[in-house]
Amino acid sequence: MKILIAEDNLIFANTLELIIEELGYELVGVANNANDLLRLHLAMEPDILLLDIQLNGTKDGIDIAYQIMDSKRPVPIIFMTSLQETSLQDNATFERAKATNPFAYLVKPFDALLLQRTIELAFYKYEKGILEEDNFVGWEKDMVIKDCLFVKIEQHLEKVMIQDIMYIDVLTKYTSIHTTKQEYSLRMSLKELYAKLPAGMFMQINRYTLINVNYIEKVDLQDLRIKISGKFHPISRNYKDYVLGRLNIV
C-alpha cells in the first residue's frame, strides 16, 4: 500500500516516516504545502493520504482535500490534527472539513498500532464503498469533550485539561492525576482512566504509572527511569521494550 503524507511539522513528519516503514507500507512522498502535495499526488498515485489540517502556505489541508476529492484520482483521506490545534472547534472550519467526507481521522500524537488500524480500516471502507457520516462526528466529540476530564470534588465537577496532565500514578486505593497546576485523587483504576485518555499521548511505564510523553525531560537508560517535572519514575523491565520503542531515539 502506497502512503502519501502531508505534514508541516518536520519532527512529526520524520516520526511518521519511520512508523510507516516499520509497518511495511510504501512511503511515496512527504509534503508540507499544497503545491508539493498535489504534484506528488498526481505523480505517485498513492493509495492513502495522511493529511494534516495545518499546512504551510495559503491553503490548508481541507482545501487540498476538496481538490483531491474532485480530481481524476480521488483517494481515501485520513485527517490529522492535535489537541493543541483548536481550529476544528470553530464551526465554519469543522463544517468545511466534514464536507470532504474523510474516511478516518487521527488526533496527534498517536502510536503505530493505532495508525495501522486506521489505515487498514480506511482502505477497507474505500474499497467497499463505505462512507459513514459518523466518521467526523467522532472527531468533533474528541476535540470538544475528550480534550478534558471532569473530576468530582465533593459536590462539584472540576475541569482538567488532558494536555495539562503530566503523569498519573496509583498510591494505595487512590489514583492520582498530577497536572501542571495541582493534583487530583480519585477512586478509579489506572486501566479505566487510561481508556479515557487520547491514544498516543500517554504511555504506561510500569504497573502503577502513566506518563504524558510531552512532559518527558530525561530518560535514564542505565537505571531505567524517566524524569518528569523534576521527579524520576521507574520503567519496569516488562515495559522497557514498549517504552523505548515509543521514543523517537536518534
Instruction: State the pLDDT at residue 191.
Output: 84
Instruction: State the pLDDT at residue 144.
Output: 40
Average confidence score pLDDT of the chain: 82
pLDDT of 206 strictly over 80? yes
Question: What domains lie within the chain, and their CATH numbers?
Answer: 2-144 (3.40.50.2300), 161-246 (2.40.50.1020)
In angstroms, the CA 20 to CA 120 distance is: 12
In angstroms, the CA 247 to CA 241 distance is: 10
3-state secondary structure of 198: coil
In angstroms, the CA 193 to CA 196 distance is: 5
Split at pLDDT 50, 70, 90, the class of 114 is: confident
Split at pLDDT 50, 70, 90, the class of 87 is: low
Kind and range of the H or E element at 1? Answer: none
Task: Decide if 137 contacts 104 (C-beta within 8 A).
Answer: no
Task: Decide if 30 contacts 88 (C-beta within 8 A).
Answer: no
Going by the DSSP 8-state scheme, the letter that residue 33 receives in this structure is B
Average pLDDT over residues 141-145: 42
Instruction: State the pLDDT at residue 36.
Output: 94
In this structure, of 99-113, 131-145, 150-164, 175-189, the range with the lowest mean pLDDT score is 131-145
Give the closest residue to 225 by CA, choosing from 212, 208, 242, 206.
206
Model confidence, pTM: 0.53
Split at pLDDT 50, 70, 90, the class of 138 is: very low
pLDDT of 141 strictly over 70? no
Residue-wise pLDDT tens digits, 39-62 = 999 999 998 999 998 889 888 888
Crossing angle of helices 112-128 and 10-22, in 10° steps, is 70
Split at pLDDT 50, 70, 90, the class of 212 is: very high
pLDDT of 133 strictly over 60? no
Phi, psi torsion values for 69, nearest 5 degrees = -65, -35
Distances from the Cα of 119 to the Cα of 26, 52, 78, 113, 182, angstroms: 13, 15, 8, 10, 38
Instruction: State the pLDDT at residue 85.
Output: 55
